[in-house]
Chains A and B, each alone.
Chain A
Amino acid sequence: MVFSSLEFIFLFLPAFMLVYGTASKKYKNSVIFLGSIFFYSMGFRGEGIENILIKTSLFILTVLFNFIIGEFIQHFRKAAKFWLIVGIIYNFSLLIFFKYTGFFLENINGLFNSNLPVKEIILPIGISFYTFQNVSYIIDVYRKDVESEKSLINYGAYISMFPQLIAGPIVTYSTIAKELKNRTHSIKKVENGLKTFTIGLGYKVLIANQLGGMWSDLSMIGYESISSGLAWMGIIAYSFQLYFDFMGYSFMAIGLGEIMGFNIPKNFDYPYLSVTMTEFWRRWHITLGSWFREYIYIPLGGSKCSKGKIVRNFFVVWLFTGIWHGASWNFILWGLVLFALIMLERFVIGKFLNQFKIVGHLYMFLAIPLTWLLFAITDFSDLGLYFSKLFGIAAESDVIINSNDCAKYWGIYGKFFIAGTILSTKIPEMIYKKIKNTPFCAVLLLAVFWASVYCMYKGMNDPFLYFRF
């Protein structure tokens, strides 16, 4: 189930809130656990009852398994390392199996000209996120940073909590351990949570989904037929779409968590205001960066070793960051390009960019969309074609280009570009802080909410009235 859907907002959420609100403190975590399992299984709705049962059971089993591992590590300290390794192998084997089998097989076929059957395995949603959460937990217990959770219900509630189950933020157990056992609820928290949720909904539906239309339009046209200007508009639209989609989702997660009394950590801190790529990755998908720093970078030695080893550590982190994002070569290339830029900044140009912020902003104005390009296009020949369009080095061809295409698309999407630019700055937050508790703000957010619902309502698959071909 997607947050930005009518079923979630008008069916699941009210029902959940009712049950959760009326449940006594003792049972609130059970409600979270069971409600979230239901939420999770609804995500597989189209796949047939067998698939739903298998994937949901797998998830529950994984939660149980990690809970047991945590307890074993805690209580059998002498064999702690053994149990830790068992746990890590289990979690990552599942992730690798579901996410990367196809990729491995295709590459083997390509290398050895073999014909291994590549059966399409449908990825269980959220697996990239809950795998990382489970692993962070057992490592934290092993390191004695935290004591193992005694209650299966509490652990289940932690991992499955629907606000962050599907798309993060990656909440570590230690962040939330206290609140699992003891948290307060209030109307004020509900009010703030709903406001945050609404802002996130607006980002996703009113900005991201709209700009997403532009990127699909470009695919529909075919990259050989777009002008240079349109290519740039396209990749900037994609950059905004990705940002507001993901940030919107994180806001919605934080808002929902707040209603339930949890403080889910923020995931974005104005990344598009960065002057270096290094800074960018401390502001974008913050919880992922923290995870890699805490569980890969620092254990490898972090920055407290020789230069050569530091570079190696960064290389490992960025290689895995790329792979985590997707099972195809363009993501690996993307990770490696980020590695190269960050190393360049660390050893050569970083100081300069930080000092002369204008240059830094210009540098990022190019670096951000260009790196997202590697993220957006999977096929390498398409990537090359798009690149050549951006820099006007396309081969002479008599493919017709609509000379009016920039004007046309600006006419459709221009207002979203402008809105996106303004919303990427701190201006809205400054305004929000001032008006947050005024009736005006309440009415404004109400308008955002209903505008979003209207878009969802219209866009619902009504095949009999609303084709737009």
Chain B
Amino acid sequence: MNKYKQNLYTILLILTCFVASPFIFHRIWKTSSDAKKQINVPPPSVSSSANSSSSADSSTGAAQTPDSAPGDASQTPSDTQTPEASFTLGPSDLTYFDDALFIGDSRTVGIKEYGTFKKSRFFCSIGMSSANIDNENIDGTTFEELIKNNQFGKVYVMLGINEVGNDFQYTLTKYRAVIERLRANQPDAIIYIQGNLHVSAAAETNVINNANINYLNSLFAELADNKKVFYIDINELYDDEYGCLTAAYTSDGVHPLAAYYQQWCEWLCQRTVITNAAPEPATADPNYYQVEPTAAAAPEQ
């Protein structure tokens, strides 16, 4: 008996390892086989955001809505769903963000801690995704409670980098649900979908790479209707000539250095929705001469 007591640790260790070994072996095996294959192969991308969105030229690709206003500076990759709407993205000052809500992952945490929007509300955490957003409890509130009990003038959403390894359609479903809940609970708010930041060329891996990020961004961009929901993409500011996050702007290849969040905020100030008006619907009077609805004719506000 004494011998067992004297070597108790060895015995306990061997016993517990024996019990746990199937789980551990499974994990080891899974990790090494997963590392070899690339799970999500995005289909050849048809949307323009697969081509680097660093081009600020507003007539990129075939995605341009024919009715967009001449001053339109946004990228709207989906043309078929966009109804005839007119809007411009233009500058506002800092007070625009006083009634803003920012939802997102660690990049949004960066905006919160190192940006200039000190009066906005932030619901963000490292590791947040559209799949786990309801598990979060931040500043004493859940996501559902936050959007039910408060009214915001505008909501910025930036999620996706933490789920780029999941099935794309699954993520899109989750993300769409978040947007829908925002629309339902914040009927007067403008919703900005921020495209996910690229990673630097050096940081790209099997799963986390700019092709996948671009594809995910393009799926999210299709949720924009340009009436209430808009898509903006910071990559036009931070990309290098290869469509990757510029190496000098980052240390770990995934997050911009804190000093750049100021710039990010200035960029957001330049990308606020100024006008948002749909053209007049046709009246029933057959004698009313219908002017072709164009943006140019839309009333400026």
- A residues bordering B, Cβ < 8 Å? 6-7, 10-11, 14, 187-188, 190-191, 194-195, 198, 216, 219-222, 224-225, 399-402, 404-405, 408, 437, 439, 441-443, 445-446, 449-450, 453, 457, 460-465, 467-469
A-B contact pairs, 20 of them (CB 8 A): A10-B17, A10-B21, A187-B3, A187-B10, A191-B6, A222-B251, A225-B258, A225-B259, A404-B113, A437-B6, A445-B9, A446-B9, A446-B16, A449-B13, A457-B24, A461-B35, A463-B207, A468-B126, A468-B162, A469-B106
Residues of chain B within 8 A of A195, CB atoms compared: 9
A468 near B7 with CB under 8 A, answer no
B27 near A469 with CB under 8 A, answer no
Find the B residue at minimum CB distance from A458. Answer: B27
B114 near A463 with CB under 8 A, answer no
B258 near A400 with CB under 8 A, answer yes
Q: Tell me the complex Cα distance, A367–B261, Å.
A: 34
B251 near A220 with CB under 8 A, answer yes
Q: Tell me the complex Cα distance, A457–B115, Å.
A: 35
Q: Tell me the complex Cα distance, A8–B178, Å.
A: 43
Q: Mark B108-152, 1 if CB is under 8 A from A, else 0.
A: 000001111000000000110100000000000000000000000
Taking the closest CB of chain A, its distance from the CB of B75, in whole angstroms, is 23
B259 near A224 with CB under 8 A, answer yes
Selected from B9, B27, B161, B165, the residue in CB contact (under 8 A) with A457 is: B27
Residues of chain A within 8 A of B290, CB atoms compared: none
Residues of chain A within 8 A of B39, CB atoms compared: 464
Find the B residue at minimum CB distance from A226. Answer: B258
Q: Tell me the complex Cα distance, A325–B71, Å.
A: 59
Q: Mark B170-184, 1 if CB is under 8 A from A, else 0.
A: 000000000000000
Selected from B9, B21, B255, the residue in CB contact (under 8 A) with A194 is: B9
Q: Tell me the complex Cα distance, A35–B10, Å.
A: 22
A460 near B27 with CB under 8 A, answer yes
A194 near B113 with CB under 8 A, answer no
Q: Mark B220-258, 1 if CB is under 8 A from A, else 0.
A: 000000000000000000000000000000011011011
A191 in contact with B115 given A219-B251, A220-B252, A464-B165 (CB within 8 Å): no
Which residues from 4 to 49 on chain B have a C-beta closer than 8 Å to any C-beta of chain A? 5-10, 12-13, 16-17, 20-21, 24-25, 27-28, 30-31, 34-35, 39
Majority DSSP secondary structure for residues of A touching B: helix
Residues of chain A within 8 A of B165, CB atoms compared: 463-465, 467
B113 near A402 with CB under 8 A, answer yes
List the 9 closest pairs (A to B, CB-CB), nearest first.
Answer: A222-B257, A225-B258, A464-B165, A442-B9, A467-B162, A402-B113, A442-B8, A221-B258, A463-B207
Taking the closest CB of chain B, its distance from the CB of A115, in whole angstroms, is 22
Count chain B residues whose beta carbon lies closer than 8 angstroms to a beta carbon of A.
51
Taking the closest CB of chain B, its distance from the CB of A227, in whole angstroms, is 11
B115 near A400 with CB under 8 A, answer yes
Residues of chain A within 8 A of B6, CB atoms compared: 188, 191, 437
Q: Tell me the complex Cα distance, A224–B249, Å.
A: 13
B52 is an interface residue with CB less than 8 A from chain A? no
Residues of chain B within 8 A of A221, CB atoms compared: 114, 257-258
Find the A residue at minimum CB distance from B207. Answer: A463
Selected from A191, A222, A400, A462, the residue in CB contact (under 8 A) with B116 is: A400
A10 near B259 with CB under 8 A, answer no
Q: Tell me the complex Cα distance, A460–B255, Å.
A: 21
Q: Tell me the complex Cα distance, A359–B150, Å.
A: 57
Taking the closest CB of chain A, its distance from the CB of B20, in whole angstroms, is 8
Taking the closest CB of chain A, its distance from the CB of B203, in whole angstroms, is 10
Taking the closest CB of chain A, its distance from the CB of B127, in whole angstroms, is 5
A190 near B7 with CB under 8 A, answer yes
B81 is an interface residue with CB less than 8 A from chain A? no
B278 is an interface residue with CB less than 8 A from chain A? no
A461 in contact with B258 given A446-B16, A469-B161 (CB within 8 Å): no
B206 is an interface residue with CB less than 8 A from chain A? yes
Residues of chain A within 8 A of B105, CB atoms compared: 469
Selected from A6, A187, A220, A463, the residue in CB contact (under 8 A) with B28 is: A6
Selected from B25, B207, B255, B257, the residue in CB contact (under 8 A) with A10 is: B25
A462 near B31 with CB under 8 A, answer yes
Q: Tell me the complex Cα distance, A222–B206, Å.
A: 26
B270 is an interface residue with CB less than 8 A from chain A? no
Q: Tell me the complex Cα distance, A131–B260, Å.
A: 45
Find the A residue at minimum CB distance from B257. Answer: A222
B95 is an interface residue with CB less than 8 A from chain A? no
Residues of chain B within 8 A of A465, CB atoms compared: 165
Q: Tell me the complex Cα distance, A224–B258, Å.
A: 8
B12 near A446 with CB under 8 A, answer yes
B34 near A463 with CB under 8 A, answer yes
